[in-house]
Each structure stands twice: as C-alpha cells, then as structure tokens.
C-alpha cells in the first residue's frame, strides 16, 4: 500500500502547514507545554480552538452543518500531524471532539445534535467522559451509579473516578445503571450530564508531579432531563462501546507518545560507553520490531479510514492500535532513558532535543496502558471479537445484577 498523500491530501497538507505557520505558536521539540494552572490552559485552548473553528480546522472530519470542516478523517489526521509541530494547548478538547461528539452524532437526536455539537466544535463547551468507578474499571459493566426515572427526569446518585478533565468540563457522557434487576450489561443507559448541575462535585486527584489530569466525581441527587438520554433504557452498553471504540481510535492518533522514528533519531545521536546506541544489537532489534509495529498500525489505520469513509463506526480492531502504541512507547522510553545512565534521571528538557517526549512517554505510557481498557481487557477483545476465539467462561453475565451486588 502507498502511504504517500494523495494529490488532494498533499494540497490539504500544504494549506494546513501554511495556515499553522501563520497562526500557531512557535515550533517545539515534540514535548508538551507545562501550563501553570488549569485556568491558563483552558483560556489558551479556547482561543486556539476558536481560531481553528473560524478557519474550518476545528473538527475537519465532522459535518459542516454542525460547524465541522466536512473533510475526511485522513485530512483530520494530516492536520493533527502538522499541528504536533507547534506549542498548541493539548488535553482540553480531545475527549470531547474525539469521543463525545462522534457518540452524539451516532446516537443523539436531532435536537441533541443541534444543541451540543456546534458548541463543542467551536470550543464554547468542553466535554468529559464519566464511565469508570472505584469498583468498575476493567469490569465496566459492574458500575453502580444509579439513575431512577422520576417523571420527565432521571435522578442520579453514585461516584465516578479517573475522569479526565472533569474539573474544567461543561458536559459529559455518563453511563449509569437504570435497572438493577437486569443482567449487568443489560441494565445500563447512556446520558448527557451537565457538569455544573446541582449535586455534581468534582474532586481533583493530585499527581506526584503536582499536576491534575484525573478527578473523582460524586453525584448526589443530580437531575438529568430525559431528553439528555442517548440510548433506550438498558441500551447503554452498546452506546458505551461506541464511545470506547472512538476512544481507542483517538488514543492512536492523539496521545503524542513516541514511536520508532523517535527511537531511530535519538539512538543515532546518542553515544554510550560502548559506542553509538544505534549500533548496539539489542537496540537494533527493538528498532526493527518497533518499525514493523508502526507499519502494521499504519495499515490498520488506513483500513479504519476506508471504513469510516463508508460510514462505518470503528470496530473492535481499534483495540490493537491502543494496545501496541501504549506498550511500545513505554518500552522505547525505558530503553532510551536506561541508555542515558544516571543522566536519565534528569528532566527531559535538560537532556536535549526530543527528550521531553521521551520523558512524557515514560511517565504517561503507563497510564495509557490502563486508560480506555487495560492491556488484558484489550487482549480479550482482540481474541474474542477480532479473532473469533471462544470467550472466557463466566457466570456473572446471566444473573440479575442485584444478586451480585447484594
């Protein structure tokens, strides 16, 4: 398969480069800007998103009628590749535009689409995803957050955890249990939740580096109007799988982890006690495997783009992308930092060009092997839903959930 841009995509790339050169901040060495606080980050992100929206670059592959660019997913990835060269705000709109908005377009009513999609694309509203709970991470269907129908509304009580960006989000996708007498997967429903509604309490989870990317979210008597329900009652599991497939597709495109090109570039420049790192047989073996992985992932991406162009949703094969990228980035980062010896303990900016990205992959790669599905869960998905192997035997999928939760 030819991985070169088509003539149309090559023209689009040139236009994107020209626009970014005129409007984006200064270029950087593939690291990440350290924002002093959330308010500064969000303000910068809103300004940048507004600029992109005005130029048609905010959501290139989404429909024009909702403020998108009306282009292709390939063009969206091309723009993202070019945008990576600049010090642009990252981590505010990725969940909304990459996971939540595609879910709204796939499942939402016309009223929901008209109300939310354009404002998300323009940057006016920020979105998060409220799925995981203290006792429902890998086994997401075991969640206990409860939504009870009361007239034209739903009353929600429960707790979510590891919610990225909840501290500055306006709305979120909420998966809640609406029927405890049904089986664990059959009793769930997917909603839109107003993160500013009474009863929503967000508690940031402070990281070792002082930053906050994740949050606990406590829900106490939160009222959600029935018009914010995205699936039929009991249809939430299928809706959540739609979101998770978009999430795994986005992980491969947006998390900014290093790949074989970084390993090749740095190992050629890095001198160790035994000579140039790229001449070491062990390093060369890892380079070869990483390169083959990257080529395979690109083939998979092109297959996905073809399917998206035909109007098909991302399928379970996206688990392969997420599984390989996160684990490989962590392996490469560990190798490069080990090759630096004691210097590897220094902050990335002190080690030279490209090392901030290595440091990010070392610290963030471990989190990415958990977020959106652990390695073990993804391997099960690949085995059962891609390869068609027999599913593991379990007895908790046929009993009413309230029997297991008692």
- Enumerate the active-site residues: 247
Which DSSP string corresponds to 302-330?
Answer: HHHHHHHHTTPPP-TTHHHHHHHHHHHHH
Question: Nearest to residue 174, comparing CAs of 184, 163, 182, 183?
Answer: 163
CA-closest candidate to residue 398, choices 204, 194, 186: 186
Q: Which two tokens stand for residue 147?
A: 């939504």
CB 196 within 8 A of CB 153: no
Are the C-beta atoms of 405 and 180 separated by less than 8 Å? Answer: yes
Q: Where does residue 273 rank: exposed (0-12), middle (13-18), buried (19+ CB within 10 A)?
A: exposed
d(CA 159, CA 178): 15
Alpha helices (H) along 340-400: 355-368, 375-381
Spatial separation of the C-alpha atoms in residues 23 and 48, rounded to whole Å: 9
If 0-12 CB within 10 Å is exposed, 13-18 middle and 19+ buried, where does residue 9 land? middle
| Residues 104, 139: Cα–Cα separation, whole Å | 24
């Amino acid at each position: 398969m030819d991985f070169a841009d088509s003539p149309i995509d090559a023209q689009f790339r040139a236009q994107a480069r020209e626009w970014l050169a005129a409007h984006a901040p200064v270029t950087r060495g593939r690291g990440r800007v350290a924002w002093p606080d959330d308010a500064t980050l969000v303000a910068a992100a809103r300004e940048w998103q507004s600029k992109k929206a005005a130029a048609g670059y905010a959501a290139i592959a989404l429909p024009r009628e909702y403020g998108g660019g009306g282009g292709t997913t390939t063009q969206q990835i091309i723009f993202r590749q070019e945008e990576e060269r600049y010090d642009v705000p990252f981590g505010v709109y990725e969940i909304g535009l990459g996971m939540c908005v595609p879910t709204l377009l796939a499942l939402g009513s016309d009223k929901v689409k008209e109300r939310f999609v354009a404002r998300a694309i323009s940057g006016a509203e920020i979105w998060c995803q409220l799925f995981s709970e203290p006792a429902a991470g890998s086994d997401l269907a075991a969640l206990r957050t409860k939504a009870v129908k009361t007239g034209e509304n739903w009353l929600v009580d429960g707790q979510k955890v590891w919610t990225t960006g909840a501290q500055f989000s306006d709305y979120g996708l909420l998966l809640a249990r609406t029927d405890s007498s049904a089986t664990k997967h059959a009793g769930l429903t997917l909603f839109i939740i107003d993160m500013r509604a009474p009863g929503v309490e967000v508690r940031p989870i402070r990281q070792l580096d002082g930053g906050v990317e994740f949050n606990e979210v406590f829900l106490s008597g939160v009222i959600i109007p029935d018009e914010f329900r995205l699936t039929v009652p009991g249809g939430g599991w299928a809706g959540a799988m739609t979101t998770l497939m978009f999430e795994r597709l986005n992980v491969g495109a947006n998390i900014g982890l290093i790949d074989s090109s970084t390993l090749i570039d740095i190992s050629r420049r890095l001198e160790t006690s035994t000579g140039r790192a790229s001449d070491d047989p062990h390093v060369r073996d890892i380079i070869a495997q990483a390169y083959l992985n990257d080529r395979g992932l690109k083939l998979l991406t092109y297959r996905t783009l073809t399917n998206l162009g035909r109007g098909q949703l991302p399928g379970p094969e996206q688990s392969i992308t997420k599984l390989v990228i996160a684990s490989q980035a962590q392996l490469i980062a560990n190798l490069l930092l080990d090759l630096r010896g004691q210097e590897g303990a220094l902050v990335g900016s002190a080690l030279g060009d490209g090392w901030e990205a290595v440091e990010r992959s070392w610290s963030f790669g471990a989190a990415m092997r958990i977020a959106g599905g652990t390695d073990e869960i993804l391997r099960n998905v690949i085995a059962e839903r891609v390869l068609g192997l027999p599913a593991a035997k379990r007895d908790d999928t046929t009993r009413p959930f309230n029997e297991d939760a008692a």
